[in-house]
Structure 1
């Protein structure tokens, strides 16, 4: 671990300890605990209202939720984590996981196709940005394992990644496999969290939250470092094949 990462980790731990200390003091000296419980109860009531409203559509309820997930990918009206938890809360762990996975896969497919159909518009917007260049390097020579890893790891903008990969040489069937399978671990954890909230198993919920945070926070804090490492790894392949002709227009534009 280099010096910069140690410095960031030190301040992160110090911040968490400070927040924990302040919360502990407020819990012991005031009515924060009662207010927190009241707020959670109100939130659960709102969640129950949403659940009842969607389930009132009967057989159409899963379709409505799937459409909600599709819109979440394309337009991002609500955070993906919230909709994933909502799926488990409404339908249970495995049905919620299935419906979320279908919605996320369809939404990612639509984003990918839209980017490919209107490539010039998206290319004008993203070209020469650091994120675009990084992702384009990763797939320009057909190394599709690395984007798959990015879909699995939390902390990366998966919805934006769908648009960016639509500009690459990645075949559509490969993308469908990557986005469907790569999102599954995170989607399952979110669905489990929602189901535990509905069942009132708060100890299990806290355990799942701890696991999620333990994985997500480091990946988010060091996402650029992870991406740079993956890019350097892929560049070795690109340099070894530098005499090969460009494989598509996007790779040719990148080299212009």
Structure 2
């Protein structure tokens, strides 16, 4: 019994990840017709896309403003907006505009936080998130840590702007490394929306599985991820 417990403890992360993958796979199989129905619904009900395109030449600008707002008003789900951007404008154009919009929003929050510091942070960032990230952002390799925090799943990326502004990282380095870290997830979200528009069912299904797995990894392994990042010296 003790040997079994030791084995389970040793391979705990692998076992959990395997269970998650099996669970996601089973759900996708059981609800394959519902997934196809949702895909069809998204394909036909493109009111959001029509709303954006109703602005004509300014449509892409409106999309960019939405990305600014989803950072500044950080409870707005950015992934949804990015997927709609990919649906309306294609992967690469939506990704580029998303990066510009998000960086503009991050610039606003970073500079405002620099001015008001803890007075602002204590009001908008939950204590639990603040406490869990402050130690992580005290690393000597702060640029690498910021890059990893924005690259890895499950991190409260918009809330991190406030805490990074209180850290020793410069504005220039923050913008560079946070942007590099954001790019893969941004591209995936826009690619997802673009393939919905193209009707690529198999790619949409694969992308859905990848996104779900990434989210679940972030949920189940966030504390472990933070502890490992804290070891970066």
> Under TM normalisation by the shorter chain, which class is it?
0.7 to 0.9
Task: Give the structure 2 partner of residue 179 of structure 1.
Answer: 178
Unaligned residue ranges in structure 1 (runs of 5+): 28-32, 238-256
Task: Give the structure 2 partner of residue 120 of structure 1.
Answer: 118
Instruction: Mark the structure with the bigger radius of gyration.
Output: 1
SS in 2 for 1:222: helix
Distance 1:10 1:56 in 2: 45
Report the number of matched residues: 224
Task: Give the structure 1 partner of residue 4 of structure 2.
Answer: none
- Answer yes or no: is the 8 Å Cα contact 1:89–1:196 preserved in 2: yes
Structure-1-length-normalised TM-score: 0.75
Distance 1:198 1:88 in 2: 8
1:213-228 equivalent positions in 2, closer than 5 A: 213-228=212-227
Distance 2:15 2:203 in 1: 32
SS in 1 for 2:153: coil
Task: Give the structure 2 partner of residue 249 of structure 1.
Answer: none
Tell me if 1:2 matches 2:19.
Answer: no
Structure of greater relative contact order (alpha carbons < 8 Å, 6+ residues apart): 2
- Answer yes or no: is the 8 Å Cα contact 1:138–1:144 preserved in 2: no
SS in 2 for 1:144: helix
CA offsets per residue over residues 41-68 of structure 1, 9 Å max, x none? 333333x222122112122111111110
CA RMSD of aligned residues (A): 2.8
Distance 1:38 1:213 in 2: 18
Structure-2-length-normalised TM-score: 0.82
Task: Give the structure 2 partner of residue 207 of structure 1.
Answer: 206
Distance 1:128 1:70 in 2: 22
1:224-243 equivalent positions in 2, closer than 5 A: 224-231=223-230, 233-234=231-232, 237=233
